[in-house]
């Protein structure tokens, strides 16, 4: 049973890293196709390398493009609300 759990964790980590790499616009250090090959061929080391060195921004699990503003916090929306004379 513990071996099964280990295999599930390894596959889950690999799938997560692969999907995250596919969604990343500009990976650090290497081209995206090379990162995908590393993740696919090195089951444990590849995803860990991606998470540590390939993700852009260095902000942990968040990226700049994930920042979403509510309409009342968005500066461009607030600018459009001012009356025009």
pTM over 0.95: no
Tens digit of pLDDT for each residue in 25-41?
A: 888 888 999 999 999 99
Q: What is the mean pLDDT of residues 58-85?
A: 62
DSSP for the chain reads -HHHHHHHHHHHHHHHHHHHHHH-SS-SSS-HHHHHHHHHHSTTHHHHHIIIIISSSSSTT--GGG----TTT-HHHHHHHSPP-
Q: Domain map of the chain by residue range?
A: 2-60
Cα–Cα nearest to 47, from 69, 19, 71, 23: 19
């Amino acid at each position: 049973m513990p071996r099964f759990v280990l295999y599930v964790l390894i596959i889950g980590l690999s799938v997560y890293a692969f999907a995250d790499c596919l969604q990343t616009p500009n990976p650090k250090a290497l081209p995206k196709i090379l990162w995908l090959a590393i993740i696919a061929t090195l089951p444990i080391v590849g995803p860990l390398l991606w998470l540590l060195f390939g993700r852009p921004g260095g902000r942990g699990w968040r990226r700049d493009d994930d920042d979403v503003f509510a309409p009342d916090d968005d500066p461009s929306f607030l600018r459009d609300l001012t009356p025009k004379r």
